[in-house]
Amino acid sequence: MPALTYLEAIRQGIWEEMERDPTVFCIGEDIGIYGGAFKVTDGFIDHFGPERVIDTPIAESAIVGAAFGASLTGMRPVAEFQFMDFIGCAFNQITNMVAKAHYRWGAPAPLVIRGPSGGNVHGGPFHSQNPEMYFVHTPGLKVVCPATAYDAKGLIKAAIRDNNPVIFFEHKYLYRRIKEDVPEEDFLVPLGRARLAREGQDLSIITYAAMVHVAMEAAELLTKEGLELEVLDLRTLSPIDREAIANTVRKTNKVMVLHEDVRTGGIAGEISAIINEEAFDSLDGPIVRLAALDTPVPFSPPQEEYFLPKVVDVVREARKLAAY
């Protein structure tokens, strides 16, 4: 089993799906000869040909619109956004044209919109955002945010095979920083199911994407203090795994929700409501919310570090919650 980076895993997943299914094709900016800004589709144009690896003008609404149109003819487009920060340019196509199609007129839209999101790479306000919640709030879309190479491959393959529009947020900080053994054979990770990244009985951290690794690091540190943290990696934000959330709360009775997205309107609020509905009686303390500041993502490294939740923040808040 070869060790793959998070990026290679995504790349391999798309590659395998394109080899398996002739209706899968890629469309986006600079994805052809250049191979994409992050090289996710590097070499694809040589292998699959320019018919199936389509470079577009800088026109995000046209990319999504064209992907949707092609999907109406039974194709399965994989549309790349160079940065997920630019998804606002196609907001209307995604939320009004694509997301509502099945409900309104019974048109399935089996397309994937994928691209890099997230900070900690000093990309500044327009190359670091986490815009996932706009789409979690839109019925008709699925939203996926993988944290590991294994999941990234299994989830991108599942997203491509799904009959619904899937917004696939890759975390650019993880692209080349994490590596793990990923099976070469065909496997899928089902959308809508969370993963227990670490078992523990004292306190649960519910999180996703790059923050999973922050939570894991904090959990290792706290072991020395005799605290065993459970870490639940959501993997998919929509549909969200209510059962896994309720189960971990019932087990540890104390919850911290951690995300890189800004605090207000982040998924932590929704998860708190789910816990309230599903497992209120199991709570032995307040639900703690740890998230980025309610500001745009700042550029300068000391500012960005201050903006993002860190291991020390998780450790501090976990100690407080454990002692509650």
Partner 1 sequence: MPKKKQPTLRRANTNRTHSRTPQEDSKSARQQRTYTLADYRLEKPSFELRQVRVGDTVRYEVSGNLSGPAPPIRDSKYLRKQQCIEIYRWMLLNRKMEAALENLYKQGKVVGGVYFGLGQAACSCASAYALRPDEWLGPLIRNQGSLLVRGFSASDILMQYMAKAGSPTNGRDASSHFGDIQNRNVVAPISTLGDLIPVLAGVALGARLQGRNIAVMTYIGDGGQSTGVTYEGLNFAAVQNLGLVLFVENNLWGYSTPADMQFCVKDLAERAIAYGIPGIIVDGTDPCQVYDAAHEACQRARRGEGPTLIEAKMMRMKGHAIHDAAEYVPKALFEYWKKRDPIARFEDYLVRQKKWLTNQENEKLIGAVESELEVQREIAVASPMPAPESAAGGAYCETPCHEIRPKYAMPKCRIKKSLSLKQKETAVHLK
**Is the Cα torsion angle 38, 16, 185, 168 positive or negative in sign?**
positive
- Of 132-151, binders to partner 1 (CB under 8 A) are 139-140, 142
Q: Is 108 in the site for partner 1 (CB under 8 A)?
A: yes
Rg, C-alpha atoms of the chain? 19
CA-closest candidate to residue 148, choices 156, 140, 139: 156
Of 22 and 183, the one with the shorter C-beta distance to partner 1 is: 22
Q: Quick check: is 127 catalytic?
A: yes
Amino acid sitting at position 189: V
Q: Is 61 in the site for partner 1 (CB under 8 A)?
A: yes
Of 71 and 247, the one with the shorter C-beta distance to partner 1 is: 71
What does the per-residue mask of binding to partner 1 show for 22-51, with x meaning CB under 8 A? Answer: xx-x---------x-xxx--xx--xxxxxx
Q: Is 96 in the site for partner 1 (CB under 8 A)?
A: yes
CA-closest candidate to residue 248, choices 209, 203, 189: 203
Query: Any residues with CB less than 8 A from the CB of 243 and at least 6 apart, and which?
Result: none
Stretch that binds partner 1, among 90-98, 222-230, 291-299, 302-310 (CB under 8 A): 90-98
Q: Is 179 in the site for partner 1 (CB under 8 A)?
A: no
| φ/ψ of residue 314, rounded to 5 | -65, -45
DSSP codes joined into one string, 71-123: HHTT-EEEEEPSSGGGGGGGHHIIIIIITTHHHHH------EEEEEE--SS--
Contacting residues toward partner 1, per CB under 8 A: 8, 11-12, 15, 19, 22-23, 25, 35, 37-39, 42-43, 46-52, 54, 56-57, 59-77, 92-93, 96-97, 100-110, 121-123, 127, 139-140, 142, 163-164, 172, 175-176
